[in-house]
Amino acid sequence: MKKSKNILTNTMVAGAIMMQSTLGNAQSVAPASLSSEPTIRPFQVKVPAKKLEDLKRRILATQWPEPENVKDASQGVQYATMQALAKYWTTSYDWRNMEAKLNALPQFVTTIDGVDIHFIHVRSKHKNALPVIITHGWPGSIIEQMKVIGPLTDPTAYGGKAEDAFDVVIPSLPGHGFSGKPTELGWTAARIAKAWIELMNRLGYKKYVAQGGDWGNAVTELMALQTPPGLVGIHTNMAATVPADIAKALSTGVKPADLSPDEKNAYEQLDYFYKTGLGYANEMGLRPQTLYGIADSPIGLAAWMLDHDARSYALIARVFAGETEGLTKDDIIDNITLYWLTNTAVSSARLYWETFQAKAGFFDPRNVTIPVAVSAFPDEIYAAPKSWAEKAYPHLIYFNKLEKGGHFAAWEQPTLFTQELRAAFKSLR
């Protein structure tokens, strides 16, 4: 909804907010105090058929470049992968399946600090469930965490115990998914963290934990720095632990000689990412408004989102080559389609711009002092070594080095991710 938040409030039908022909994002016109509009409204998704028909038409009308003239992905997302994705998107994929999954979950919208915040909120049937707010990143969305909702809220149905239960809150970042698009400057990760604290207060939670990876980690750590009374601990699957001397070495290209095997692996992962994988972040951080092409072309958007980090892309390429992985073709296209239908290609990029203005290192330790749990997945942008985590988090209550999984841990390895959260927060219940 490219109009104001009135689209939401004026289209409530049978207790649900239906997405009308102006599908996109609800926006408020002027900023407000954090508690100015505490109303929480039910929300459901209904994409007009014309919107889906237009999407297919645009994919079929793509003006394709020639294939890369190398035999690997060194020039970017490969032609064969995109051809396979486009074919599946137009011949086999059905957005209505994802729409039904979303609408089977309790979804809501509430206005915080002048922006409509969309979120999923599932309460456990078990007594004494621990509330957790889980935050996605880019190019992710709430779709990343949907596979873990059942295991976290109903552990007895998934091999766990009743005392493992969580109440789960999964918000869409401002400018992403079904949340509103900020119309004023200053929506940094710190401001989002403040909004999330207000959201948990608004839901009535006096004690809770928080979890995140990618932007979700930044938001989660910044929640911890604001020390709200109810937040008793955090968990991250993409920790900010890079010591100052390592950051300096990465900038100069002189690798320290005294690194442990895990530290050496992390250094080399970061070195590779900084040298080859930051193109998307630099463009979004410096010139997000220039990205009209990905707002106009579904294939352009898909390629941009796939080219996030080398190991995630390699996994996705294998999926579209017919191999079985933690993600399916539908998983991947669900997420891309969500960005397309909500027209959030550019609005989501502005979080990078806001962060670049602050000139803060994304992986710099933030001196979080409350209890912290870390899960290090091997195919993350970098797998944080325990030695770095211990320095970054003086109250490290849990650390585990996983054998499998990458940047989209909850999405790709939901069973492992669920086990990690159960173990990570066990001592805080």
Predicted confidence (pLDDT) per residue in 101-129, tens digit:
999 999 999 999 999 999 999 999 999 99
Q: What's the whole-number mean pLDDT along residues 254-263?
A: 96
What's the whole-number average pLDDT of the chain?
A: 92
Q: How many CA atoms lie within 13 A of 32 on its CB side?
A: 15
What pLDDT was estimated at residue 361? 77
Task: Provide the edge-to-edge strand list for the sheet that holds 115-122.
Answer: 40-42, 107-112, 115-122, 166-171, 130-135, 208-212, 231-236, 372-376, 396-401
> Residue 392 corresponds to which tokens in the numbers above?
């970054």
- Which range, of 24-28, 211-215, 396-400, averages the lowest pLDDT? 24-28
- What does the pLDDT look like over 195-226, one tens digit per residue? 999 999 999 999 999 999 999 999 999 999 99
pLDDT surpassing 60 at residue 21: no
What pLDDT was estimated at residue 13? 29
Q: Residue 23's pLDDT band (boundaries 50, 70, 90)? A: very low
What pLDDT was estimated at residue 77? 98
**Fold adopted by 6-241+277-428:** Rossmann fold (3.40.50)
pLDDT surpassing 90 at residue 419: yes
pLDDT, greater one: 64 or 10: 64
Task: Look up the pTM and report it.
Answer: 0.91
What pLDDT was estimated at residue 359? 76
For 310-316, the CB contacts below 8 A with 24+ separation are 310/73, 310/272, 310/273, 310/276, 310/277, 311/379, 311/406, 311/407, 312/379, 312/406, 312/407, 312/408, 313/73, 313/77, 314/73, 315/379, 315/406, 315/412, 316/81
CA–CA separation, 181 vs 167, rounded Å?
27
- What does the pLDDT look like over 148-195, one tens digit per residue? 999 999 999 999 999 999 999 999 999 999 999 999 999 999 999 999
